[in-house]
Copies of this chain bind each other. A is one copy, B any other.
Amino acid sequence: MPRPVSPVPEVEPTAKPTKPGATRVRRGQDKRDLILQAAIKVFARAGVHGARVSDIAKEAGIAYGLVYHYFKNKDEILVTIFEEQWLGFLAAVRDIGNNGQPLRDRLVSIAALILNAYRLRPDWVKVLVFEIQRSARFAQPGQVQAMRRLFDEFEDLFERAQVDGEMRTDIRPAVSATMFIGALEIVITSLVLETAALPADETEERAYYLAFANETVEIFLNGCARGGSTR
């Protein structure tokens, strides 16, 4: 039922994803996506709570009645964003985890994936991090823990890494998974909270994020204690 959309393309999104050949495309589906994109933008700006349905509609340039044509209510918009975007994100993480490269490279790739996602679609990431993760809506069994699945992903990854001799076996995968996710999340959080400090130049920006990713993984793998980098 969820229609996973490649959530974080490495390339900038093209102006119009419209498939050529369909001159104007089906009237409706476009509007549905329009609403989702607008919702992400508004949720990021004002929070789910602070976002009025009419704000979303205005952002999308449509009558707000139409929102209810496509979604049962405001909550369902959030759920849809989750289903179609977060699940896609999880899949991307899993792919990287299975790509056969050395552990460090995989972790840097994942960190870079997330940081790039933020660079290219900050609204999208803000909503995932701030709204979906914390929303009571997702803390309930059934929809169950958006986060839970990400934890599982990393637990698997780290269990395999232990077996492969790439990780210490005296630390439980559950703990290291927690640690790694926490590191990534807080990086995002700190980015969101002090956007001003970012480099203006795009090339610098990429470098900035990549450095951040590398450094984070380095701590995770080798620790901060004196001598850690010498190993």
Contact = CB atoms under 8 A, between A and B. Distances in A.
Interface of A: 46-47, 49-50, 103-104, 130, 133-134, 136-139, 144-145, 147-148, 151, 158, 165-168, 170-172, 175-176, 178-179, 181-187, 189-190, 192-193, 212, 215-216, 218-229, 231
A182 B187 contact: yes
Contacts of A175: 212, 215-216, 219
A223 B226 contact: no
Contacts of A185: 182, 185-186
Which of A133, A172, A178, A225 has the most chain B CB within a 10 Å cutoff?
A225
Q: Is the interface of A mostly helix, strand, loop or mixed?
A: helix
Nearest to A151: B190
B220 A222 contact: no
B151 A178 contact: no
Given A219-B223, A224-B176, A189 B147 contact: yes
B218 A171 contact: yes
A136 B171 contact: no
A90 B171 CA distance: 29
A223 B228 contact: yes
Q: For the complex of A and B, list the 4 residue pairs with the smallest distance between their C-beta atoms, beginning with the closest.
A: A182-B186, A223-B223, A222-B223, A221-B225
A137 to B, nearest CB: 7
B224 A220 contact: yes
B171 A224 contact: yes
Contacts of A137: 47, 130, 192-193
